[in-house]
């Protein structure tokens, strides 16, 4: 048995999420079925994180255990062939130790959220950004975001369906910057609550449009009440960026 670590890129638009679902297609199902076509083996894909319906990934790390004797490059090439036409690509495939785990060995995860701030509708960026027509003050959003950095009770920014044992999370970074009409929000942490990133972006958008003062984000955090959250940002603009592992570069 060989454990292979895969780096996956995918467009989440046609999927119900990364994790296998009973009510629709998933990234996990697509990859597992491709592996079956290559090896004849029924495997379970383990990933560094979970993504909701419509959320994308630039470099999601995952692993599978395969009995067939196959070189990593050959496995990657075969998987990319059999994944067609699903919008999933294996960017890298390497052999890892048996005790390496894509989820439990991971010590950090980063996300990118992309907003296009203009009145014209999206064309090239359709399903890959949140279109906000009202002008956004990215500097005010960045200032407000700093209230969320550190260890906090993120109940306000937690989905009602979140299965995490505790709402306590430590946010390492949360930055907002503008480049022309694109406002990009980047964040990193060891782990996140369900919908936490989209909830934080939703609150920051209210600051950006002037509906909330900067200090309101911190007040919403301290309220520890989901009712204090104005909106959840849509999934379209959210990308799982990369995963971090001990003694290894970002992958």
| pLDDT tens digit sequence for 27-80 | 999 999 999 999 999 999 999 998 999 999 999 999 999 999 999 999 999 999
Residues 233 and 187 grouped into a single domain: yes
pLDDT over 90 for what percent of the chain?
94
User: Hey, which residues does 6 pair with through a beta bridge?
Assistant: 62, 93
**Residue that terminates a domain, selected from 47, 74, 96:** 96
Using CA atoms, how far apart are residues 221 and 145, in angstroms rounded to an integer?
11
> pLDDT-derived band of residue 162, with 50, 70 and 90 as boundaries?
confident
pLDDT over 70 for what percent of the chain?
98
Question: Active-site positions?
Answer: 52
> pLDDT-derived band of residue 251, with 50, 70 and 90 as boundaries?
very low
**Residue that terminates a domain, selected from 96, 131, 153:** 96
Strand-pair category, 238-244 with 108-117: antiparallel
User: For residues 231, 235, 236 and 242, what is the CA-based torsion angle, rounded to 10 degrees?
Assistant: 130
Residue 103 lies in a domain: no
Q: Is the pLDDT of residue 164 over 90?
A: no
Mean pLDDT of the chain: 95
Whole-Å CA distances, 50 to 18, 101, 162, 194? 6, 14, 12, 9
Residues 135 and 238 grouped into a single domain: yes
Domain span holding position 143 = 108-244
Residues 127 and 239 grouped into a single domain: yes
């Amino acid at each position: 048995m060989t454990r292979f670590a895969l780096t996956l890129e995918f467009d989440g638009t046609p999927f119900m999420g990364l994790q296998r679902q009973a009510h629709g297609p998933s990234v996990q199902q697509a990859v597992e079925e491709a592996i079956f076509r290559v090896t004849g083996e029924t495997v379970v894909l383990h990933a560094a994180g979970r993504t909701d319906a419509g959320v994308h990934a630039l470099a999601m790390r995952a692993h599978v255990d395969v009995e067939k004797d196959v070189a990593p490059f050959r496995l990657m090439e075969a998987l990319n062939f059999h994944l067609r036409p699903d919008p999933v690509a294996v960017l890298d495939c390497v052999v890892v130790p048996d005790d390496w785990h894509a989820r439990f060995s991971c010590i950090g995860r980063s996300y990118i959220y992309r907003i296009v701030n203009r009145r014209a509708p999206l064309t090239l960026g359709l399903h890959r950004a949140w279109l906000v027509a009202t002008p956004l003050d990215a500097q005010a959003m960045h200032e407000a975001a700093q209230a969320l950095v550190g260890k906090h009770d993120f109940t306000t920014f937690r989905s009602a369906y979140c299965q995490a044992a505790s709402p306590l999370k430590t946010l390492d970074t949360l930055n907002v910057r503008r480049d022309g009409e694109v406002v990009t929000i980047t964040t990193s942490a060891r782990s996140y609550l369900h919908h936490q990133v989209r909830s934080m972006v939703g609150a920051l958008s209210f600051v950006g449009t002037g509906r909330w003062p900067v200090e309101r984000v911190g007040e919403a955090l301290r309220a520890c009440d989901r009712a204090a959250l104005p909106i959840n940002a849509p999934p379209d603009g959210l990308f799982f960026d990369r995963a971090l592992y001990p003694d290894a570069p970002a992958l």
